[in-house]
Structure 1
Amino acid sequence: MLYWALVFLAVAVIAGAFGFGGIASASAGIAQILFFIFLLLFAAVLIARLLRKGTS
């Protein structure tokens, strides 16, 4: 998922450089959403691992 966030970020930067504002804005928004989903899943996995190590 982090890979796709970086892909959409690269598309946004390239589209912004060529002057396609709408495409750049949409790609940046998708990249931001994917990045925050990645962060939430990463935090959930870390918490689950800490809880599992504490019980065993």
Structure 2
Amino acid sequence: MCKLPMYNLIVFGCYALAKIGLGLIAFKDCSEDAALLDEDIQAAKKDLTKRGFKFS
């Protein structure tokens, strides 16, 4: 039997896990962007409240 497809699947899985792991390790904290996003969310909530949308 040909074991090459199974080998390729295992190698691809290891590569994908390594890529995701390295991406998580190198993930940068973007506190400035988080603050800007929070401001945008608050502005959108204010606008929607003026238009009659109620938040629970």
Normalised by the length of structure 1, the TM-score is 0.49
Task: Select the structure with the greater relative contact order (CA < 8 A; seq sep ≥ 6).
Answer: 1
Normalised by the length of structure 2, the TM-score is 0.49
> In proportion to residue count, which structure has more helix?
1
Quick check: which has more Rg, 1 or 2?
Answer: 2
